[in-house]
Amino acid sequence: MDKRLLDILVCPVTKAPLIYQKKNQELICKASRLAYPIREGIPVMLPEQARKLTLEEVEQIK
């Protein structure tokens, strides 16, 4: 994930910053508890395409 792109992307729901999770190829928003997928190198920033995170998953994110 390009650092410059990550710096300008925000959660479309909360406008909070995103955390890149390389292992799952996702962009994580702690505020909305959503994980946006990255498909073929392109972030899919649609809330309806995002995976809902459990509270435990959110607490484990650094």
The model carries a pTM of 0.90
Q: What is the secondary structure of the chain as a DSSP string?
A: --HHHHHH-B-TTT--B-EEETTTTEEEETTTTEEEEEETTEE---GGGSEEPPHHHHHH--
4: pLDDT strictly greater than 90: no
List C-alpha distances in Å: 40 to 3, 25, 26, 37.
17, 10, 12, 10
7-57 confidence digits (pLDDT tens): 899 999 999 999 999 999 999 999 999 999 999 989 999 999 999 999 999
CATH assignment at residue 34: 2.20.25.10
Count: domains in the chain? 1
Residue numbers of the domain that contains 29? 3-60
